[in-house]
Amino acid sequence: MKNFFDKLPWQTVFAVCLGLFFLRNVLMPTVADDYSYAFIWDGDGRGNLLDGLDGSRLQPIETFGDIIQSQWSHYLTWGGRTIAHIFVQLFVWENNLLFDAANTLVFAAMVLLLFKAGTGLPLRELNKTYLLFILAGLYFCTPTPVITTIWLTGACNYLWMSTLIILFLLPFVTAYRQQKLVPCP
C-alpha cells in the first residue's frame, strides 16, 4: 500500500480531496441563515433573523436588483459583510450546485495560496507532504470546519473572504521575501 501511495502524484491526491470536498458540499442542505438571505433584507423588521421573523414582510429575491436593495439595507442596519452576502444571496437565489462547484474551486485556491504564501516556492514544487500538511492544518485548525468551509453562508463569509485576503496579501509576501534575498549595502 505504501508503494502505491508513493507512486501517486500530488495532483491525484489533491483531486481526490477536492472530489470529497465537492461531495460534502452537495450533501449539505440549505440551513439557518441561508433561508434568511433568500429574501430581501428587511432592516425595519429585525432583518431576516429566524427568531422573530415576520413572514408577512418577506419578499423573495427575484432579481439582481433585489440583491443590491437587500445588501444596501443590510449594510445600513446590520453589518458590513456586504461582499460575502452578495455571494450568498446570488447562490441562494440561483443554484446551490453552482455554489458547490464554485466553493470547491475557492477551497482549491485557498490551499494553493496557502502553499505559495507560506513557502514562497513555485507551485511546481508542491508535493504530497506540503499538500497533506496544508489540508490537515485547514481541517484541524479551522474552528468548526463544516460551518466555515461547506455551509453556504459560512463558506462565503469565512472561506471565500479569507481566500481573497490571502490573494491580496500574496504580492506583499512575495515582495518581502525578494527584499530579504537582496544583500544590504
Higher model confidence: residue 175 or residue 38?
175
Lowest mean pLDDT among 59-63, 117-121, 177-181: 177-181
Confidence (pLDDT) at 54: 59
Q: Name the H helices within 28-158.
A: 33-36, 64-77, 82-93, 96-119, 128-141, 145-149, 152-154
Q: What is the mean pLDDT of residues 49-55?
A: 57
Tens-digit pLDDT profile for residues 6-21:
677 878 788 888 898 8
Q: List, as one string, the DSSP characters of 16-50.
A: HHHHHHHHHHHHPPP-THHHHTTB---GGGTTT-S
Instruction: Using pLDDT thresholds of 50, 70 and 90, give the confidence band for residue 2.
Output: low
Q: What is the CA radius of gyration of the chain?
A: 20
Q: What are the beta bridge partners of residue 31?
A: none
Of 82, 85, 72, nearest to 43 by C-alpha is 72
Tens-digit pLDDT profile for residues 115-151:
888 888 878 877 888 888 888 888 888 787 777 777 8
Higher model confidence: residue 60 or residue 170?
170
